[in-house]
Amino acid sequence: MTRTIYLATGNAHKLREFQQMFAAAALPWKVEGAAALGGMPPVDENAGTFSGNALLKAHALQKPAPKDAWVLADDSGLEVTALGGAPGVHSARYAGVGAKDGANTEKLLHALEIIPEGSRSARFVCVLALRGPDDAEKFFEGDCRGRIGRVPSGGGGFGYDPVFFPDGFDKTFAELGDDVKNKISHRGQALRKLFIHLRGPD
């Protein structure tokens, strides 16, 4: 029997990534976005940590969800060493509340304009918060290390993908394609830990 996990996001790109990775894992689960429950409720992401913000989103979506529903929330961001870990939990609103991807990326590149090539290290971080019908909470974390380029490159992905070169690759996340990105990304790593949990003991 196929079960449903409701993903606490209104981001169509993120929903598609999760659906692709769940399908590839061949688990008896399907992923529905917040739209299936009437839309993502507003959340003040003020926890200060990825895990805290993920949990806030999971709690928010669980309220309109059926009582026996499973809810999954993701909080992800980019941490740049030369910027002291910024934009971090503020990645989605780095250029201001409601900022588009292009504006956030432009602000990041401007902040790194004088930073030399050898000092542009960064990592993407993802924390997943899973809440079940019994209010049990589980967290799953992944990260992907790399560096920030000087100009956007590639038309795939979203967010900071066009300027992030993962370690070991000479292409950005936006150039690598979904199959490669999903294998090495922060979100892919966190999801693989989630899949082990959902499969349960062998």
CATH of the domain at 37: 3.90.950.10
What range defines the domain where residue 45 resides? 3-199
Total domains, the chain = 1
Q: Which of 175, 112, 131, 140 is nearest to 51 (CA)?
A: 140
Helix axes 186-199 and 12-25, enclosed angle (nearest 10)? 50
Secondary structure of residue 10 in the 3-state scheme: coil
pLDDT digits (tens, 9 = 90+) for 49-88: 999 999 999 999 999 998 889 999 999 999 999 999 999 9
Assign 158 a pLDDT band (cuts: 50, 70, 90). confident
- Among residues 68, 74, 75, 167, the one annotated as catalytic is 75
User: With 70 as the cut, is the pLDDT of residue 201 above it?
Assistant: no
Is residue 167 part of the annotated active site? The answer reads no
pLDDT digits (tens, 9 = 90+) for 105-146: 999 999 999 999 999 999 999 999 999 888 889 999 999 999
pLDDT digits (tens, 9 = 90+) for 28-42: 999 999 999 999 999
Q: What is the pTM of this model?
A: 0.91
- The Cα 73–Cα 96 span in angstroms is 22
